[in-house]
Chains A and B, each alone.
Chain A
Amino acid sequence: MRYFVLGPVRMDPRTPTATKVRALLATLLVRANEVVPITSLVDELWDDEPPRTVITTLQVYVSQLRTQLAAGLPPDEPRDRLLQTRPPGYRLNIADRELDLTVFESLRAAGLDAYEHGDFTDASALFAEALGLWNGVALAGVPHGPLLSAASVRLEELRLGTLERRVAADLRVGRHRELTGELLALTGAHTYREALHAQLMVALYRSGLQSDALAAYARVRKALADELGVDPGPALTRLHERILRSDPTLAWQEPNRSRSSARPAPRPVLWLPAPTEDFTGREKALAAAGPLIGGTAEGEPGVRVLDISGRSGAGKTTLAVELARRHADAFPDGQVLIGLRGSRGRPLDPAQGALALLDHLLGPAERRRRSAAAEHPADVDEVCHRLVEELRGRRLLVILDDATTEEQVRPIVAAAPDAFVLVTSRRRLAGLEGGRHLTLDVLPPAEAQRLLTRIGGDAAGGDPDSVREIARLCGYLPLALRVAGATLVARPHWTAATLAERLRTAPAPLDVLAVGDLDVRSALLVGYQESPGTERRAFRLFALAPASGFALWGAAALLGTGHGAAERVVERLLELRLLEVTGPETAHRYRIHPLLRALAVERLDAEEPESERRAAAGRLAAAYLALATHADRTLLPGRPHQTAARNTPPGPPTGPTRAAPTAPGARAATARGTEPGLTAQTAQAAGPGRPGATGAAAIPTPPAVAAPTARPGGPDAPARAATLGVPATPIAPTVPTPPTVAAPTALTARPGGSTAPGAVARAVPWARIVGDSPVRWFQEETPGALDAARLAHEAEHWPLVWQLAEALTGYLEAAAGWPQWEELCDLALDAAGRAGREDVRAAMLRSLGDLAWQRHRTDEAAHHYQQAAALFRDLADPAGQAGCAVGSADIALSEANPDRAERLLTEATLLHRDADDPRGRADVSRGLALADLLRGRGEDALRRFSEFTDAAELLGDRRWTAFGRRSAERILEHLVDWSSSQRMPAPASVEARPGVWLVYALPA
C-alpha cells in the first residue's frame, strides 16, 4: 500500500471517493501507527455537529475504508490487518516507506545530516528529492477539522523550512545565478519570510546585482512596515549593511580548483566478510577459479563472470571470499560483496542490487541518501548509468552473493567492464552470457573430516571414528560440518561420540545442527520455500523414497504422474539443488542429500495430509511390487506366488476393505490377460477399514506386468508346463481371481488433478526397467523395496506388505539375504495377523522356517514348520503341508539323519497326490536324492536327481536345473570308482539346495 498526504489525500491502489472517508483516512494517516480515539475522529469529521448515529456512521466509514484497504492486501490476509480496532479508537498500521510524509521526513533528516557535515551538494539533492514528493498543498481535497488543520500548518511550515535549507545548500555550492528567479517568485509568494528575502539578496549580490539586492531589501522593509508596522529583523538588517559596504566575505568564494577541477581518485573499497580462518580443502575449485579471476586462464582472457553454484550450505560464499582474499592484489580498487537478498530474505530486484553496489562505491552521504530513499529506487537504467560512471577504470572484484536470477546479475556485469564479478547461486545461472560456471558439491569425506577437526578442536581431534561418523551424518555438507564443529566448541561437555550419537538417533537431526545464529535448517529451508508448489510437493513426497536412492519410475509412483511429468519435476528439483543425480548416465538414479531428506521428512509431516502420505506410500509399494514380481518371474520362473491369489478365508471381519471395481489400470490389465494375478493382488491392497480412512486405504492399481517374452526355460516352457497341469502364470488356477478393485477417488484426487494412477501404471515400461538382468535389479532395488514394504506396513496397506514379501523372498532365499528376508517375513506375518489372513501367516511361517534352516537354526526352523503345517492343515492345503514336510526333511538332512528325511519326504509325496504342485513334487525328488546320497545309494540318488532336473526344466527354472545337473555330475564322478552294486561312501559335504552346503566334515 502507498499513502499520500503531501498534496491531495489519496492511496494506492484505490482511494476512497467519499469525502468523509478520505477525511477519516487523512486523520488516521497524520496519526499513523497511533490509536486515534473515536472522540477525536468524531470531532475531526463532524466538528461540533455530529449526527445522532455518529458512532454507527463512523463504523460505516471505517468499514468502507477497510474495504478499500483490503484491495492492497493478499487474499488470505485478514481484512482488518491494516486498520485495527484498538480501544478507545482505531489504529492504522503502515510501514515507514508506505507514507510519503515519512519518506519526506527521512530525506529531510538525511539532508540536514549532510548539511551539518558540510556536504552541501548531497544536502541540496536530498532536500530537492524530499520536496519533490510534494504534489500541492498538504492534506488537500478533504475538509479539515482541528486535527487536520494543525497538521496542515505544520506540514507547510516543514516544507518551507526544507525549501529554505535547500536554497541555503545551493548558495553554498555557488548556484546563486540559478536561484535568483526562483527566489524572486518565492519572496513574492511569502512576503514575510525574511530568510527567503535574505537568500534572494545574497543570490543577487553574488550574481553581481548589488543594486537589485538593495532594492529587494527596500521592498521587504516597506512591505513589513506597511502591512505589519515592523522593521526587518537584525539578520536581514546586518546583511543589508554588509551589501552596502560590499563585504568581501559575502561574495562567492570559488572553491579550491585543485580539489574540484579533477575528480579525486576514489579510495579503494573493501566490503568483505572476514575470510574464514579454518578454510579447508576445495583445492580443485580454487585451482579452477584462480586463473579465471587472475586473467591468466589459457584461452579465456576475457572472462569477467564466474558463477559458483551449489546447494545451500555448500560453502559457496566462503569459497568466493577466499578467492577474493587470495587474489586481492589483482584488484587494487577494492573488493565488495553484495548480498542479493533483502532483510526478509527476499531477492532484490535488479535495480536494488545495482543500487546496493552503488551505495558501497559512493561515500557515506550518498549511502545515507539512498538509505532514506530505498523504497524509491531509481530506475535500473539510471542506477546503472551512475554505476558505469563510478566503476569506469576501477579494477574491482565484486561478489554478488546468493543470486537467484540472471536478471539480478546482468546490469551489474554490464555496468562494470573493468571489474570481475563472482556470483554465488544455488541454481546454476546458465543464462549468464560469457560467464563460466563452477559447481560446488559437498566435500570429499577426508576434507570434511579435516574441516570438522579444525573447527571442533580438541573434542573432535581425539576421536577420528566419531569425526568420520559425524561427517557422514552431516552428508559432508560444509555448513553442517561447521555447525557440528561449533556445537562441539559451544558444548564442551559433549564429546564427538555424544554428538554422533545425537545426530544418529535424534528424531529431527536438524534440531541438533543449530548453534548460535548458525542453523542448517534455516539455510536449507530457503531453497525449499523458494521452489514452486509442484516441486515443493515432489520434494516432500520424495522423503518417502528410499534413502539409498530411487529411479524415475519411483518418482513417478510417488508423485502419481507419468514418467514425463515426473522427469520434468525431477529435472527442476535437480536444478534447484534439492535433489542429486547418481548412477550411470544410462540409468540415472536420484537421491536427496541426507540433511535435505531430514527437511523433506519434516515438511512431509507438517504439510502433507496423512491420506496423501498413505496414498503415496501405497503407490510406491505397488510399483515395487510390480517390478519385483516381474523380476522374480524372470529370475525364478515357476515359483508360486501363493498368498496373492487366495481368497480370504472365513474369519473375523477384519480383512482388508475392498473398493468398487472401477480401476482403469486393473480393467486394462485384466482385459489384456497379462498377469491377472498381479493385477488382482495389488488391486486388493486396501487398508483395514479404519474409521474415516476407508477410502484412502486402498492403493492405486499397479501396472500390469508383461510376461517375459523369452522365458528362461525356453520358448516352449509354458506349453510344457501346461502338460503338467501348470498354468503359464504361477497362480493356482483353482483359485478364483478376486474382484478387480479400484483406487478410490480419495486416493486418486491430488492437488492439481494430476494423472490418475491407472494411467500412470499403463505408461510405465516395467519390463524395460527390470531389463534382462533381474539379479542386478534385485541387488539395486531390494533395500528400496524393503523400505517400501516398511512404509506400506506403516500405512496399513496389509496386502501390499505380504505380496512384496512374497515377491522378494525368492531372490533373498537365493542370495541368502537373511536380515532382509527375516524382516520382510516379520512384517508380512504382522500384516497377515492384522488382516486375518491365515493362509498368508502359514506361508510366511514356512518361509521363516526355510530361513532358519538356511541359518542352521534347526530348532527354530522345526518350530516354524510345525506351526505352518498346522495352519495349512486347517486350511486344507496339502501342498502347503507337503512343503513343510520337505522343510523338516531338510532339517533331518542337516542332522545327517537320512532315515527321518526319507520318512518325511514320503509323507510329502502322499500329500502331493491331492495337490497340484509340480514344483513341490520336484523338491521332494531333490530331498530323496540327498537322503539316498547320505546312505551311500549313489545310483538311486542319481535317478532322483535326474527326475528333479527334468521337472526343473519343465518349470523353466534354470537355477534348479543347473543345480540338479551339477549334483548328478558329482555323483557320477565318484561312481566311476565303485561298481553300482556297492554302497558308496557318504559325502563329507553336500549341496542341499543351490548354494547351501551341508558340511559334515571340514578339511582340517
Chain B
Amino acid sequence: MPTPTPTPPAPSAPVTTLAAGPAAPASDYLAPLVRHLVHRPRTLEGFLRGSTGVQAQDFGLSAVLPERHPLYGDGPGTHHEPHLPLEALRRATLFVAHRYFRVPAGRPAVFSTSEVTLDPAAAWRRTPGPTHLGLELTLTPVDVVGGVPRGLECRAEIRIDGMPCGTARARLVFLMPKVYQNHRSRGRATSRAGHAAPARDPLTERVAPHVVGRADPANVVVARPRTGAGEETLVAEVVAEPGHPVFAEGSPDHVPVLVLMEASRQLAFLHAGQLQGYPPGSCVLAGWSADFQGFAEPDLALVCESTPRPARRDADGRPLLPLSLRFLQGSRQVGTVEVVVGQDC
C-alpha cells in the first residue's frame, strides 16, 4: 500500500473549504504556491453547470514559485526544486478530487506513485524575480464505484515562465476508512516486529548541511551514513527536526511524505558526492520517481538505503548518476525511490 498523504481535515461542507482568514494562513508555507486552478471543461454540462462526469478532466494550474522558502530556498538556490511542482500537483489533485469528483472528504487519500522528469533541465535554473509555474493537468478517474472514483491518475506538463520543462505523474488512491485502518495496523505491527532501536540518537548524528546541499542544519533529515550490505551501498537514518515549519506540517500520525522526499534527495546528493565527487552544492535533481507501499511510523527508526547505478551523461554531456533508494522500517520496505542526480555545469 502506498505511503499516505495526510488528508485535509474533514470540512463541514464537501464543496468549499473554509479557512481562518482571507489570505493564506501563516503556517501554510506553500500558500503562494497555488493560486489559480482553472477547469477546462470537455462537455456541455462542464461548460454550463461546472459539473463533471466520471471521466478525465483537464485543469490549468498557475502559481508563483516561492522566492524564499524555509526548505526549498535553502542551499545554493541555483535551481528550482522539482519537488515543488510535484507537491503542487499532489495538493491540486486532492482539491479537485473533492470538488469535481465528489470524493467524500473523510476518505483517506494516499499517493502510491509519484514521478517528476526534467526536460530540459536548463529550464529549471533560477532567474531573478518571481517565477511563474504552470501545470497542465489531466486527472483520470479509476476504479469508479457508485459514481465516485477510488483513485485518480494524474499527469501534468510542467511549464516554468511559459516554457515546457518536464512532466509530473502521480497516482492518488482514496481508501475506505476501514481499509485504511486495517492497512495501518498491519504495517505498524510489521514495522515493530523487526524493529531495532538505533544505537545513537539519529537527531544528534545528522550530517553537516553542506554535504547534502543545504545550509540550515535544521533542514537536514539524514544521519551520518554507514556502508550497507553492498560495498557501494549507503544506509542512513532518517530523522526530521521536531517542530520544523515544513516537516511538522500535517498529521503526526506518520512520517510526512515531505520528509521522505527530502531524505531521498539528501542521501542521493551525499552519495553522489562520495562516489563521483560531485560537490553537493552543485548537485541538482534530474529525475525523481517514487513508489510507496506503506506508511512510515513516526516513533520507529526509519532508514534509507542508497545503491548507485551506472553513471551516464545527458544529451549535453553533463554527468548524471542514477541511484536506487529504499526506505525501510524494521524488516518492512516502506517505499522505493529512483533518483537521478545531475551536476550543475
Interface-side segment among B27-35, B198-206, B275-283: B27-35
Residue ID in chain B nearest A896 by CB atoms: B23
Q: Which residues of B contact A995 (CB under 8 A)?
A: 38-41, 46, 50
Chain A residues with CB under 8 Å of B13's CB are 970, 973-974
Tally of chain B residues near chain A (CB < 8 A): 49
**Do the beta carbons of B19 and A985 come within 8 Å of each other?**
yes
* Residues of A979-1004 contacting chain B, CB below 8 A: 984-991, 994-1004
B23's closest neighbor in chain A, by CB? A896
The stretch of A26-34, A679-687, A854-862, A940-948 that contacts the partner chain: A854-862
Contact A775 B43 (CB under 8 A): yes
B230 within 8 A of A: no
Residues of B within 8 A of A935 (CB): 22
Shortest beta-carbon distance from A691 to chain B in Å: 39
Contact call B38/A966, Cβ cutoff below 8 A: no
A771-816 residues at the B interface, CB under 8 angstroms: 773, 775-776, 779, 814-816
B320 to chain A, nearest CB (A): 19
CB distance from B157 to the nearest CB of A (A): 12
Does the CB pair B28–A987 fall under 8 Å? Answer: no
**A999 lies within 8 A of B95 (CB):** yes
Cα distance A775–B46 in the bound complex, in angstroms: 10
Chain B residue nearest to A856 (CB atoms) is: B62
Does A818 count as interface, using CB distance less than 8 angstroms? yes
Partner of A997, one of B28, B31, B36, B46: B36
Decide yes or no whether A273 CB sits under 8 A from chain B: no
CB of B140 within 8 Å of the partner chain:
no
Q: Which residue of chain A is the closest to B58 with respect to CB atoms? A: A816
Q: Report the bound CA distance from A1004 to B39 in whole Å.
A: 21
- Whether the pair A1002, B92 counts as a contact (CB closer than 8 A) is yes
In the bound complex, what is the Cα–Cα distance between A856 and B134 (angstroms)?
9
**Interchain CB contact under 8 A, A1000 and B31:** yes
Tell me if B249 and A990 are in contact (CB < 8 A): no
Does chain B have a CB within 8 A of A758? no
Q: A50 at interface (Cβ–Cβ under 8 A)? A: no
B250 at the interface (CB under 8 A from A): yes
State A544–B49 Cα separation when bound (angstroms). Answer: 37
Contact yes or no, A989 B17, CB < 8 A: yes
Chain B residues near A814 (CB, 8 Å)? 41, 47
Q: Which one of B4-12, B173-181, B266-274 is at the A interface? A: B4-12
Whether B50 lies near A1003 (C-beta < 8 A) is no
Kindly state the separation between the CA atoms of A966 and B45 in the bound complex, as whole angstroms: 14
Q: Determine the distance from Cα of A792 to Cα of B34 in the docked complex, in whole angstroms.
A: 38
Interface size class of A (residues with CB under 8 A): 35 or more
Given A816-B39, A973-B15, is A1003 in contact with B91 using a C-beta cutoff of 8 Å?
yes
Interface of A is mostly: mixed
Report the minimal beta-carbon distance from A774 to chain B, rounded to whole angstroms: 8
- Output the least CB separation between A928 and chain B (Å): 15
Stretch at the interface among A596-604, A649-657, A957-965: A957-965
Neighbour of B22 across the interface among A856, A934, A1004, CB < 8 A:
A934
**Do the beta carbons of B48 and A962 come within 8 Å of each other?**
yes
Say yes or no: A988-B19 contact (C-beta < 8 A), given A963-B50, A1003-B8: yes
Q: Is A894 an interface residue (CB 8 A)?
A: yes
- Bound state CA distance, A776 and B41, in angstroms? 11
Q: Are A959 and B47 within 8 A (Cβ)?
A: yes
A986 touches B18 (CB 8 A): yes
Which B residues touch A773, using CB under 8 A? Answer: 44
On chain B, the residues within 8 Å of A817 by CB distance are 40
> Is B94 in contact with A1003, judged by CB distance below 8 angstroms?
yes
Residues of A within 8 A of B21 (CB): 985-986
CB-defined contacts of B330 to chain A, threshold 8 Å: none
Q: Determine whether B53 belongs to the interface, using a CB cutoff of 8 Å to chain A.
A: no
Query: Does B35 contact A894, Cβ atoms closer than 8 Å?
Result: yes
Residues of A within 8 A of B49 (CB): 962
With contacts A974-B16, A986-B22, A1002-B30 taken as known, whether A635 is within 8 angstroms of B47 at the C-beta atoms is yes
Report how far A974 CA is from B12 CA in the complex, Å: 8
Q: Which A residues touch B22, using CB under 8 A? A: 896, 898, 934-936, 986, 1000
CB-defined A-B contacts under 8 Å, sample of 27? A776-B44, A779-B42, A814-B47, A816-B38, A816-B60, A818-B60, A856-B35, A857-B132, A894-B36, A896-B24, A935-B22, A974-B12, A984-B18, A985-B19, A989-B17, A989-B95, A995-B46, A996-B39, A997-B37, A998-B35, A998-B36, A1001-B19, A1002-B94, A1002-B95, A1003-B17, A1003-B94, A1003-B95
Interface residues in chain B, defined as those with a beta carbon under 8 Å from any beta carbon in chain A: 6-8, 12-13, 15-25, 28, 30-31, 33-44, 46-50, 60, 62-64, 91-92, 94-95, 99, 132, 134, 249-250
Instruction: Give me the interface of A with B, judged by CB distance under 8 Å.
Output: 635, 773, 775-776, 779, 814-818, 854-857, 894, 896, 898, 934-936, 958-959, 962-963, 966, 970, 973-974, 977, 984-991, 994-1004
Can you add 15 more A-B contacts, CB < 8 Å, to A1002-B92, A1004-B6?
A814-B47, A816-B38, A855-B60, A896-B22, A935-B22, A962-B48, A974-B16, A995-B39, A996-B38, A998-B36, A1000-B22, A1001-B25, A1001-B28, A1002-B34, A1002-B94
